[in-house]
Amino acid sequence: MDIKVYPIAYPNVDWRTFIEVCQSTLNFSPTRGLDIAEINIKKDPEAFLACLTLDNKPIENLENGRRMNTTFDHFSVSFLIESDCESLLDLSNFTRLKTWTKETKRTMLSVVTGTMTEWYDAIVSCCHPSKEFNIRSMMTQCYYFFESSGFSKIWGNFTTKELKDKTIIFT
């Protein structure tokens, strides 16, 4: 079965409030470091995730945020995934992502949601040569969405290798 992945939800930031409250409370803007890192708050979805530590070290936070603090837990993303039952069971067994599933005559349709920490862990663990093709395909599609949306720095400590079946693994 062809697995299909559709991004359906990720944060829409109220930048004006975020910046104003931080400036009045902390006496500086939490987005100050974004300019130096060439991250645009209007174009780059990773901008919010990059400045959640309120320390103006966006690149460091993107590259190490999952390991050094809990800021990645404040950013949730949802996908609609059309899949077979076995792949969804693998998703439940190998990840901490939350799913809500409806079964049809032809397929399973699930809303899959997780924090950026959970997506990071799921993609890294499922884009592995030991995993079945379908779960690798599912997580490869999710990874490509994150990469095309400007989140590639999060997986900067890995290199990806595309396999003959068009899925990726991390090395």
CA distance 34 to 15: 13
- Report d(CA 124, CA 32) in Å as an integer: 31
Q: Which domains does the chain have, with CATH numbers?
A: 10-72 (no CATH), 77-170 (3.30.70.3180)
Task: Give the Å distances, CA to CA, from 40 to 43, 46, 67.
Answer: 5, 9, 24
Tens of each residue's pLDDT in the chain, 171 residues? 789 999 999 888 899 999 999 999 999 999 999 988 888 888 877 888 888 888 888 888 888 766 655 788 888 999 999 999 999 999 999 999 999 999 988 899 999 999 999 999 999 999 999 999 999 999 999 999 999 888 888 888 899 999 999 999 998
- Candidates 85, 87, 84, 50; CA nearest to 69 is 50
